[in-house]
Amino acid sequence: MPVPASSTVSVRRLPNLFDLGAFVAIAALLIAVTHAARHTFVPLASSGAATISLDPANLPGYALRTVMRMFAALAASLLFTFTYATWAAKSRRAGLVLIPILDILQSLPIFGFLTFTVTFFLGLFPGRVIGAELAVIFAIFTSQAWNMAFSMYQSLTTVPADLEEATRGFRLSGWQRFWRLEVPFAMPGLIWNMMMSMSGGWFLLTAAEAVTVGDTSFNLPGIGSYIAAALDARDIRAVFYAILTMFFVILAYDQLLFRPLVAWSAKFRVETTPSETGDDPWMLALLRRTRLLRATSDRAGRAFFAITGLGLRLPGTHRATPRRETRLGDSLWIGALLLVLAWAVWRVWSYCSATLTPADLGTALLYGVYTLIRVVILMAFATALWVPLGVLIGLNANWSRRVGAAAQFLAAFPANLFWPIFVSLIVRYQLNPDIWLTPLIVLGTQWYILFNVIAGASAFPADLREVASNFRVGGTLWWRRVILPGIFPYFVTGAITASGGCWNATLVAEVATWGKTTIRAHGLGAYITEASAAGNTPRVLLGMMVMAAFVLGFNRLVWRPMYAYSAKRLRL
């Protein structure tokens, strides 16, 4: 099971000033988007709102449309990744700005983006379905792109120097170098992150296809809107059908696309020691060993090779030494940045002072603390439960393969599908939603902890296990001295992903609807969701920014030190 370094924790140590700047700039940008949209805003014509039939016979068709949206978004994410991350890595000046922005974007709750994207795209194509389609695709894009871009950026900054020198020595153009060295080098990490992104996409999808922002609402035929309709009609059978469909869809693209891709990308790993590679997944074996399929894929490969091998070169970019970045240029660049920042500060200030009161900020912060407490408690629970179990499973080779694969699958499965069950139980037994809605937050993300711990335990070196056994180290001493430090780096990687997922999930987990019954907990997630449903853009913005601040603070104060410590001390 491949466990690449987490892409959500950048190793960079930039001054926090840049983060603060990026923070304000993004807020200003979101404000500008809603403002621009308002002028052209026309509600979607009723023809655009499709009726969703709960007949399961429609599900394959819905599934197809949904999957097409997801892959459209994935394609957009790839394009974004290749351009944005490359730009950030190639230009020092651009990197100074782009990377903090990416960090903030990654910390923003993805459901929150819906408010802005929907108003923007509907405004762009007033009254037409294409606007809604684009809005949904863009929303999915926001759930996929950031971690992919981060992964690419990290690969680009760690391209081995000798390979880099070889490409320059053989005078490859920038285009050729990109496709011959940089993309292949980034491939294993990128494909892993694409898999994670698809999970994120599903999670968002159930909310994005049927959306209500203020007085605008639309739904597009798809699994997401089918689920929304089923929840609305309190049709538990339909929810079950949707779960089943999703199970098969995820199984299909996992088996047909991602397993083969992951196995295939193993050949791009730059390693001195050959790593254990399992057998080819059946789909890859089929592609590689069937004459017809092989001929087809060979032809496609040749065409790709020909295009990427073109000696495209920007005029005058070929030189032996990289361009010197002058001090004067730096000053100009910083000056320009300061101007943009000043505009952003003014923009945010004027907008907020017109629409929000200091009391709003206080409320948002207080709710943020509530949500923080929830996330912390649940992470602690999940850790206490899954770390020991993961270790026991991981040390057993047979179990670890099976359970590991299952956990990966469960992590890809959007947990919000199971929420109706929780909600009906809470309603029936009159439970306190502040407590009993909370487990929903961790339902989908706990698996990241489990499968990372399993991966860590199964990668634990055999000779260290022998030492422990030879010196008869047992009991708590064994946990304390031997295994826990050994799996800690893996645990941190999993926990970072899981905790990020938790924050995201609060937007849908703190408010749950089942037919006419809506129950809500007190928390930042519920705050944003309700503001969004009410079309209160300033509050959505405030909520999102506060949440981003909490997530970033959590990352900086908790995860990053842990990550740095484990990288320094505990890496084997």
DSSP per position, 158-203: T--HHHHHHHHHTT--HHHHIIIIIHHHHHHHHHHHHHHHHHHHHH
SS3 assignment for 445-484? CHHHHHHHHHHHHHCCCHHHHHHHHHCCCCHHHHHHHHHH
Q: Which two tokens stand for residue 89?
A: 């890595």
The alpha carbon of 296 is separated from its chain's Cα centroid by a whole number of angstroms, namely 33
Which residue reads 């599903």 in tokens?
A: 202
Binding site for another protein (CB under 8 A): 288-289, 294, 461, 463-464, 466-467, 469-474, 477, 481-482, 485-486, 569-572
What's the length of the chain?
Answer: 572
Count other C-beta atoms under 10 Å from residue 107's C-beta: 25
Q: Which two tokens stand for residue 404?
A: 């590991």
SS3 221: coil
Q: Which amino acid is present at 68?
A: M
Euclidean distance between CA atoms 371 and 375, whole angstroms: 6
Euclidean distance between CA atoms 518 and 561, whole angstroms: 40
**Least distance to another protein from the beta carbon of 207, Å?**
42
SS3 96: helix
Of 58, 211, 202, 82, whose CA–CA distance to 134 is shortest? 211
Tell me the CA end-to-end span of the chain in Å, nearest whole number: 17
- Backbone phi, then psi, for 210, in 5-degree steps? -125, 105
- Backbone phi, then psi, for 571, in 5-degree steps? -65, 135
**Least distance to another protein from the beta carbon of 189, Å?**
22
Contact partners, residue 242, CB within 8 Å, separation at least 6: 59, 223, 226, 227, 230, 417
Euclidean distance between CA atoms 485 and 468, whole angstroms: 13
- Backbone phi, then psi, for 398, in 5-degree steps? -65, -50
The helix (H) or strand (E) run that includes residue 287 is: helix 282-289
Helix residue ranges per DSSP H, 6-158? 16-39, 59-80, 86-90, 92-107, 110-124, 129-157
Contact 232, 223 (CB under 8 A): no
- Backbone phi, then psi, for 196, in 5-degree steps? -60, -40
Instruction: Give the β-pairing of 216-219 and 210-213.
Output: antiparallel
Contact partners, residue 58, CB within 8 Å, separation at least 6: 221, 226
Euclidean distance between CA atoms 298 and 283, whole angstroms: 16
